[in-house]
Copies of this chain bind each other. A is one copy, B any other.
């Protein structure tokens, strides 16, 4: 699946492609995906429509390229957090706190892009697959932490994936769409409390449903 039609080789080409991505990010954020025309993207980037289609096979691929750039930044930030966890080896409470803080920061940093990727966009199969892959990658790193903390249970990957899926939706909602009757900070605190409790009590057993 050649997401990019032509890989930019010369520096001039790299600059052109970056300009196109920047223009697309701006216009998508301003007017939404559907209302943004590829001709306008090219215009704002200062290139011809033909140049845009040299690098990108269609409008969806343009979005996918944008997603790729965003996910790379997110992966870098998360990588830092996990490196620190591996170094400090904090307890469950602090581990949850740091993870949630990192995710919340990512959402606060570029809310328009986050809304674009998760709210306002037709999820092409390719994009949906890419987002799932990012989720699985994060799940793997989280599984390692669960094991370190002794709360991984019999299926670390499964437990980690559920944690990641839940957390992502919750942080997204808390940061970007806080309901009128709660503040974003309140929700984040509650979120940390919820997951700290969960991981603090779930232990190693499988379907631990006793609540004595």
Contact = CB atoms under 8 A, between A and B. Distances in A.
B169 A157 contact: no
Residue from A158, A177, A201 having most chain B Cβ neighbours under 10 A: A158
Contact of A187 (B136, B162, B167, B177): B162
A209 B194 contact: no
A200 interface: yes
B173 A165 contact: yes
Interface in A146-182: 153, 155, 157-159, 161-162, 165-170, 172-174, 177, 179, 181-182
B208 A197 contact: yes
A159 B194 contact: yes
A18 interface: no
Q: Report, as a range, how many residues of chain A touch the other chain.
A: 35 or more
Given A120-B123, A122-B121, A209 B181 contact: no
Contact of A158 (B136, B186, B197, B200): B186
Contacts of A209: 93, 192-193, 196-197
Given A119-B128, A196-B211, 9 more contacts: A121-B122, A136-B179, A157-B179, A162-B174, A166-B170, A193-B206, A197-B209, A198-B198, A201-B201
Contacts of A169: 165-166, 168-169
A208 B186 contact: no
A34 interface: yes
Of all A-B residue pairs in the complex, the 7 with the closest CB atoms, nearest first, are: A200-B211, A166-B166, A169-B169, A198-B198, A158-B182, A201-B201, A193-B207
